[in-house]
Structure formats: structure tokens, C-alpha cells
Amino acid sequence: MGLTIREIRDNTTRARHLMQRSRQQHFAVGAFNIDNQETLIAIAQAAQKLNAPVLVEVSDGEVKALGIENIRDMVDNYKVQYGIEMYLNLDHSPTVEDCKRAIDAGFEFIHIDISQANHDATTEEIIEKTKEVVEYAKFTGALVESEPHYFGGSSNVHTENIDYEEIKKTFSTPEGTKSFVEATGIDTYAAAIGNLHGKYPVPKELDLELLQRIRDSIECQISLHGGSGTPLNQFEEAARIGVSKININSDMRFAFREELVKVLAEHPDEYAVVKLMPQVYGAVQVVVEEKINAFGSAGKAVV
């Protein structure tokens, strides 16, 4: 059942207050991807246990798999069931039209990423389409996030090492960040400082000095994508500097698959798989709790 416009605006107002609190109190909110109901349960249980605000996010493929209205209803249902502060984020949406549909469905956070579908999109095209989403989002108050170029990697488990000399070519700069934020009017800037989509055999290295210079150059929120595989102490420092949102996906997927393989092997004669799933989403919950504690958001929920 869809939300009324009043309910949507109430939710987006609370979401904006959360982002303000994150800056004032120097914590980051975890944005956790889902592609199934069990992962959503893991996030909700972690949020309840640690009294932490969380974002549930879905990318284009996850929206296609679950359905945009179904996702909205599931998040709302579990938010009430667990009594938690939980919001919905559209992650790396490649088109303006998809963003508008999510805004209409009541998503509190919207990430427009034109370069996701077209790696060669021009800065002018990215700015133009981002501004269109920013303008459309004013009706509900949804917070809009974007970045001026393609963000590398993929939300999977990689076997290759990270080529940081290549990655550094796409790092954000304070000057470019300031120019893009002023040109688009976005609420949240997705910074590239060594974060990278996916889980790699070596830890990621965030350029925290660069992050500080980016933070000093803009007033809006900053997000970090590709948080999986990052040393926890770097998250703590990023939140202290002023990152408000950190995305996690691959670490959760890895835990889900590894535990699922294990539990299926341990119960070869059990075909009611639903009976085995609590052990699986329990493993994912451990990952979510670890990130929440590193982000400093435990105990920060306002319900």
C-alpha cells in the first residue's frame, strides 16, 4: 500500500534531520543493499539491537528483481515491526525516469548516476540530468546524491589486487567537487578517495587528507560508496571528518553466500530452506553490526 504525500514528506523531513545530526555528532549512517527479504531482516535486527538509524538501498538490478512498490512496503513493514529508524535509498540509478519513479514511491534518498549506464557521459549531461532530479525531488523533499564521473569496481568479490595508480585518476578534487555541487544543488556528494565497489584480496586505503579538503570545500553531505573491505578505523576517521553516509554491499553478500553454502552442506536432507535462513541472515547481521559500530551510529536512532 502506497504512502500519502504527507507521510512521504514527514519521512523525508526526518531523513534530513538525520543527516544534520550525523554532521553535528560526527557519525555516519550505514546504507546497506538488499536483494532479498532475509538481508532486510538482518539489517532491521541489527538496527534494533544497536538502536542505530539505517538506510536500506537498492540498485537498478535489485529494483527490477524485487519491484519498487514491494521494496517500499517491505521496508515500511519491518520499520514498524522492529520499531526502528530506517529509510530507503535508490542506489546508482542510471536514469532520470527511474529516479522520478522512486521519488513518487516515497524513497527518502535518491542517487542519480548517469555515468553508471554511460561511462562516457559528459559533465554537462550529468549536471543537466542531476539538476532535473533535484528539481523533481523538491515536491517530496527527497535528498538527492550524485557525482561528476563514473565510480569504478563492481559489487562482487574480486580476485585481483587494486591498481591504485589507475584508481587515483578518478579521485575527487576539492575544486571539482565544489563546482559540481554548486552547479547541481545536490544534497549529498559521492566522494572518490580510494573507496571502490567490491571486495578485494587487499584492504582499501582511503585518502583521508583529501577527504578533509573536500569536506572543507562544500557544505552539503558527503557519502562514501564501495565501503566493503575497508579497515574499520578508517571509517571512524571518515565519520569524524564529516562523512554522513557509507555504502556497504559486497561484505554482506559474501557473508550471506558463505553461510548459505555452509548451512546447506550441514543439512543435506532439509528442503524447507526457510528453516535454515535464520542462521544465514544471522551471519549478515554480524557484518551490519560491525559497520554500525565503526560508523559511530549505534545509539543514534530517533524513533
Positions marked active-site: 91
Closest by CA to 107, choosing from 155, 72, 70, 76, is 72
Cα–Cα dist 147/213, whole Å: 17
Contact 109, 72 (CB under 8 A): no
DSSP letters for 180-205:
HHHHH--SEEEE-SS--EEE-SS---
Task: Extract the C-alpha cell encoding 245.
Answer: 553516509
CA atoms within 13 A on the CB side of 40: 24
Cα–Cα dist 145/181, whole Å: 10
Q: Which residue has the cell 587494486?
A: 162
